[in-house]
Structure 1
Amino acid sequence: MEKTSTEAEATVAAQKKVAAPPPEKKVILRSSDDEVFEVGLSAASQSVAIKNMIEDGYADGGIFLFQVTGPVLAKVVEYWKMHAEGGGSSEELKKWDAEYANMEKDLRFQVIEAADYLDTQPLLDCLCQAVADTIENMSVEDCREYMGVENDFTPEEEAEVRAKYSWAFENP
């Protein structure tokens, strides 16, 4: 007996339902400004800190991240999701990382702090490399300004350091 088109479609649909993997478990993350993020375990587990909290049973009511604001956590979660999904080939992922790291300076530094706090080393490496690339050809003065570092040397001390380490002050 031959199945009708509708019966065949129903059979295929039923097989797809049976073959579909169960939905991924989620963890609730709450930012310091009370934004709530529902994140898949594979994405959130890229954070060693969150992975440990989940394994130790501290994630049942959600995880409060009191040192991370909503906009910063959104950027972190964006990175986690892309890397949890694989993001394509390694070259495509490198390109995505470079585009991701191209963010406003203050946000970049806040995401670096969050990556450190959440113990997400690949994200920390990605953004620190972006900062290194940004300051690579800057003068000492430009680098100080970019990093928000005040020069606390007296003019005499600075002259001494510049003389002793003159190679460090040469422009490439």
Structure 2
Amino acid sequence: MSLEDGVCYTYEAALEKAIEMEEQGFRNYLYAIDVVEDRQAKAILREAAIEELNHKQRLEMALLDGHDKNAAGLQEEMPSMNLNYVFDQKEIAADADARTALAHAIYLEKCAVDFYKRLMSGCEGAPMGGLFKRLLADETRHLGSLEDLYEKYFLTEN
């Protein structure tokens, strides 16, 4: 079954799926860092990759410990500016600048948000539903910070 089928996994299987998602996100950033030549673009992508590693490590610790130590953490989804609809940056080119790299990072984070929304909807009311709510909240926080950065530097009213 796929995530779109609304399946709810066991706690361990759900964590494994989330770890796979974070690993794939990290690999996407690593690839983009290798492709782009612009120093600022690389720095933006590197920071986003580090965030993915942090997510993955927290998930691995939850899998190792058998529970989520961050259970009392942020659980509310952060609103998005929905900049991803403008920046459908599935691929990144060697000549990408900081603006394009940031748009690419927004696209990748939106994919992660969508992934956790699908996982959460399949597990509503289940014990791991809270875990996915926290993961979704964390991803929306990261997406929001990238959107804020984009707005600050590239959507100025000058």
Q: Which TM-score bucket, shorter chain as reference?
A: under 0.3
Look at both structures and tell me which one has the larger radius of gyration over its CA atoms.
1
Q: How does the TM-score come out when normalised to structure 2?
A: 0.24
Higher RCO (CA < 8 A, seq sep 6+): 2
- Identify, as 1 or 2, the structure richer in strand: 1
